[in-house]
Structure 1
Amino acid sequence: MPRRAAAAAAVLAVLLPLSACGDGGDGGGSTDASGKIEGEITFQTWNLKANFKSYFEDVVDGFEKKYPGTKVNWVDQPGEGYADKISADAAAGTLPDVVNVSPDLVAPLAKAGLALDLDKAAGKYEKEYLPGAWKSHQIPGTEGTYAFPWYLNTGPLFYNKRIFKDAGLDADKPPTTYDQLFDDALTLSKESKGRTATLANVPTIEDFGRYGVPLMDKEGTRFTFNGAKGVELLTKYKKLYDAKALDRQALTATPESTGKKFLTEAVAMNPGSALDLGKFKKDAPGLYKNIGITPQITNTGKDNMYVMGVMVNTRTKQTPAAVAFAHYVTDAQHQMSFAKKVAIFPSTQGSLDDPYFTKQDGTDDTRVRVAAAKSIKTAVNYTPVLFSEQMKIELRNGVARALQGKESPKEALDNAVKNCDRLLKQS
């Protein structure tokens, strides 16, 4: 997921000049999806053919049988360089009719007029999807929804019950809000005399979102995470850092390093997946028997989710067929089928009520799947679609300066917002 959430700087650089020319994305195509579903279209996925070739071939066959007179050409692109491929095809006018995108990739395409507004062309389908998922492909400052939501992902939080018990905390009542988290973290650090941290990660933009910080104005013209709520969050993290409740290596942590910290019981909490449970069982049986699973920490009552989508090119010559296929591949039946082949979650209404996502069977995979599915019904994508990788670096650098005492939390966030706004204007 992190790679799939990468910034689409190359796409922005190539495509925004197109929108400035006033093309509007209607070069020969039509935004009317109400006509007869027929003709030949191309469907592009993102690094899925190696593992799911037969699944997508079945989907294409099913669509062509349902709609005689249609033909779907399925192409798959490698994960590396996907943004560059999209920008090159868009600039050359060879972008496929139906394209697998993430929110950050669809944003520049929508601004360039190349992504079909589904609120206008296919709004009747909105009720089939989870509200948070449908909204995930909306762009601040632009009206419309620019991709069908497809598969979702999220993860619960693991915690070490033994560490909680040793600190005199109730291991069956892990923190659910940030205030509870900070209180427990300080207690854990105090009782362990600074030897055990609770967290191994500094706050990211998703943490600011889960804390309830307004991240960006509605027009999409400036970032706002340096407001009072944002400063409050960073100030509390500074307190954790000073009390050794935040791991000393958090400033340079990676997902791999934080996972190792949790595996060796050096930190009390860490996000993870069913794959981690299997690793704990094999490599750290003492940790495994004390594993607790809880939803993500949030003040908003909504977890963070990652989302993929399926976009329709406004320049397609077969708009009815392209819209119909984009809906077909993302409908409840096909999303449920796909979810049973890979550890993802459907974005369609009612799908998460299936026993597959609600009933325990004693296996590790199911423990995590059920825990994550419970939270994803109301989850949202906190990362602004316009928040690039460069902007993430600016925020991380600002957080580091604040934790190290080089700048106050207010100064650090003010400078981070200033730099992010500059990058936003450059794009």
Structure 2
Amino acid sequence: MKNFKKTIVLVLCMVLIFTTACGKSEEPKDQQGADKTDKEQVSDKEGKMEGEITFWTLSLSPTFDDYLNGVIDSFEKENTGVKVVWQDIPFDQAEQQTLAAASAGNLADVVNLNTDFLKKLGALGALVNMDEAASDVKDDYFEGAWNAGKVNGTAYAIPWYLSNSVMLYNKELLKKAGFDNPPATDEEAWEMSKTIYEKTGAYGNTVGDIHLYFPMNGIPLVSEDGTKAAFNTPEALEKIKFFKEKYDEGLIPDEMLLSQANVPEWYAQEKLAWWQTGPQLFRQVKDLSPEVYDKSDAAPAILGSLGKSSMAVMNVAVSAKSKNQDAAVAFAKYITNGKNQLEFCKIVSILPSVIEAAEDEFFTKGEDSDDPAEKGKYYSAQQLENAEDFFVPVENISQINKVINEEFHKVMLDNKDPQKALDDAEKQVNDLLK
């Protein structure tokens, strides 16, 4: 699970997904050299949009300068009265920068946000309701990706680019253990893991953080109204006891539990029978061990009891206080449309949130490939139809996840009573939600 969260971070210069961090605030880097101006909206007699909008991204410069400047130039040519000023913010300063700007009423017109930051700003009422403002394009996007931008039932962003995990598995290790195919479900994976470990010494299923595992298996972290913890259930207790048994059997190594293992190295050394991550990272194994890579193949991700895969989402939102709101919404739609997303996907290993883009030959051609990374790209795009962002739509989700994971680790490592751990986590989460 932890490796899944890090997938896009690694791909886009270690800066893009799910790690909230505060740093010393600085002015955003202006990619076009334009000074900030009063962005009063002006419309001519024909209703043509005119004015200036500011667009903030998270650590996409200078790697993607050509792409983003190209999109901006195209938008400006189609909307000749609108000027887009692109400014890039270091990711480790993004949370502080955006929250401070929203509080001061000077948030950029259009903002690139990960799901965590988005939910905080949406809860503050700082963002435009995209269920209404972008209702004309809503059906173009995968439902799970669109819903990632929701807070209290309202979507406050248009999904941009995505990441999800698929499986890289060692065919020879599975064959030695008596298996012809990789596992498709969590239950099957654990059944296979014991046999694989006994016959080969390699690990199969492992678990680190549990905040994604619970919701993928029908155990919500918080109530539907977001006011109280909802995970202290008999089902959750059963799951934790199950994991404790697997840990005591030696099937979950400490290094994996605590996310301290170098997973591609472990896979390349045949310590792992499979590795679930973004397919763009598969070739790390090829670099480390071409022989092991040649023994490998790709498969869809192992699914929880809900039958859904997990995705990570980057979003584009519009400030509720934008003085050029029509132009800002139009630009948000433009940069996230299928054509522009597909072009972005061809530059960097990400997935589009637009259904039509994911159906392009760029993704589908890998179905019969002998290369695990190419086949993995096909599976990752196919999974988007049933993928969800399992991050809970409340503003302090990072702290909630941390509490749940820490209590889970205490059960595994310190023999804490599982029910006591759930009780303590529930109390802490309820305090956070207050």
Q: 1:374 aligns with which of 366, 382, 386?
A: 382
Cα offset for 1:252?
A: 2.5
**Partner residue, 1:6:** 19
Following superposition, the deviation at residue 271 of structure 1 comes to 1.8
Rounded Cα–Cα distance in structure 2 between residues aligned with 1:199 and 1:213: 20
Match of 2:176? 166
Counterpart for residue 219 of structure 2: 213
Task: Tell me the residue number matched to 2:51.
Answer: 39
Corresponding letter in the other structure for 1:214: P
Change beyond 3 A, Cα 1:424–1:43: same
- Cα 1:91–1:159 change in 2 (3 A) is same
CA contact (8 A) 2:296 2:372 kept: no
Q: Verify the 8 A CA contact 2:168 2:372 in the aligned structure 1.
A: no
Partners of 1:8 and 1:134 in 2: how far apart? 25
Matched, 1:137 2:153: no
Counterpart Cα distance in 1 of 2:71 and 2:205:
43
CA gap of 1:204–1:36, structure 2 versus 1, over 3 A, is farther
Structure 2 SS opposite 1:216: coil
Q: In structure 1, the residue corresponding to 2:272 is in which secondary structure?
A: coil
CA distance, structure 2, for counterparts of residue 297 and residue 236 of structure 1: 18
Q: CA 1:235–1:295 in structure 2 vs 1: closer, same or farther (change >3 Å)?
A: farther
Find the aligned partners of 2:298 and 2:146 in 1 and give their Cα distance.
28
1:318 aligns with 2:327: no
Note the alpha carbon deviations across 1:81-108, whole angstroms, 9 max, x for none: 1111112222222211011012211222
> Is the 1:8–1:388 contact (alpha carbons within 8 Å) kept by the matching residues of 2?
no
For the pair 1:351 / 2:357, whether they are aligned, the reply is yes
Tell me, in whole angstroms, the C-alpha distance in 1 between the residues paired with 2:232 and 2:322. Answer: 42
For residues 115 and 337 of structure 1, the distance between their equivalents in structure 2, rounded to whole angstroms, comes to: 27
Separation in 2, partners of 1:356, 1:95: 36
Tell me the residue number matched to 2:33.
none
Instruction: Identify unmatched segments of 5+ residues in structure 1.
Output: 11-27
Q: C-alpha distance in 2, partners of 1:420/1:8? A: 20
Unaligned runs of 5+ in 2: 1-7, 10-14, 24-39
- Note if 1:308 corresponds to 2:302: no
Q: How far apart are the structure 2 equivalents of 1:237 and 1:318?
A: 52
Which of 388, 411, 418 is matched with 2:397 structurally? 388
Deviations 1:118-177 (A, max 9, x none): 1222222211111111111001xx24210011111112122222222222222xx21111
Distance in 1 (alpha carbons) for counterparts of 2:120 and 2:231: 23
Aligned partner of 1:412 in structure 2 is 421
User: 1:305 aligns to what SS in structure 2?
Assistant: strand
- Cα distance in 1 between the residues matched to 2:413 and 2:121: 40
CA drift of 1:199 comes to 3.4
Structure 1 distance, partners of 2:142, 2:307, is 16
Structure 2 distance, partners of 1:176, 1:364, is 17
Match of 1:178 in 2: 186
Deviates more, 1:369-378 or 1:319-328: 369-378
2:408 pairs with one of 383, 399, 407: 399
Asked whether the equivalents of residues 153 and 306 of structure 1 are also in contact (C-alpha less than 8 Å), the reply is yes
- 1:62 partnered with 2:74: yes
The alpha carbon displacement at 1:364 in A equals: 5.0
The alignment of Structure 1 onto Structure 2 pairs a total of residues equal to 398
CA deviation string 1:307-358 (max 9, x = no partner): 0111110111111111111101111111111111111111112221111111
Note the C-alpha offset of 1:204: 2.4
Q: Which residue of 1 aligns with 2:106?
A: 94
Paired position in structure 2 for 1:49: 61
Task: State the SS of the aligned residue for 1:95.
Answer: coil
From 261, 284, 289, give the equivalent of 2:289: 284
Contact 1:149–1:330 (Cα < 8 Å) also in 2: yes
TM-score (structure 2 length as normaliser): 0.85
Structure with the largest fraction of strand:
2
Structure 2 partner of 1:231: 237
Give secondary structure in 2 for the equivalent of 1:398. Answer: helix
Counterpart Cα distance in 2 of 1:414 and 1:157: 34
- d(CA) in 1 for partners of 2:157, 2:241: 38
Deviation sequence 1:26-54 (CA, Å, 0-9, x none): xx99xxxx964222111111111211111
Give the residue type in structure 1 aligned to 2:284.
K
How far residue 238 of structure 1 moved from its aligned partner, in angstroms, is 1.4
Would you say the 8 A contact 2:208–2:258 is kept in 1?
no
Partner of 2:301: 296
TM-score (norm 1): 0.87
Shift of 1:274: 4.0
Q: Which amino acid aligns with 2:168?
A: F
Task: List per-residue Cα deviations over 1:270-300 (Å, max 9, x = no partner).
Answer: 2234454323223223321221322222122
Aligned-partner Cα distance in 2 for 1:243–1:237: 10
Does the residue aligned with 2:429 lie in a helix, a strand or coil? Answer: helix
Q: What is the Cα deviation at residue 228 of structure 1?
A: 2.4
Is the 2:22–2:94 contact (alpha carbons within 8 Å) kept by the matching residues of 1? no
Aligned residues: CA RMSD: 2.4
Aligned residue among 95, 102, 105 for 1:83? 95
**Cα distance, 1:82–1:178 mapped onto 2, change above 3 Å:** same
Identify which of 267, 270, 278 aligns with 1:262.
267
* Deviation at residue 265 of structure 1 after TM alignment: 1.2
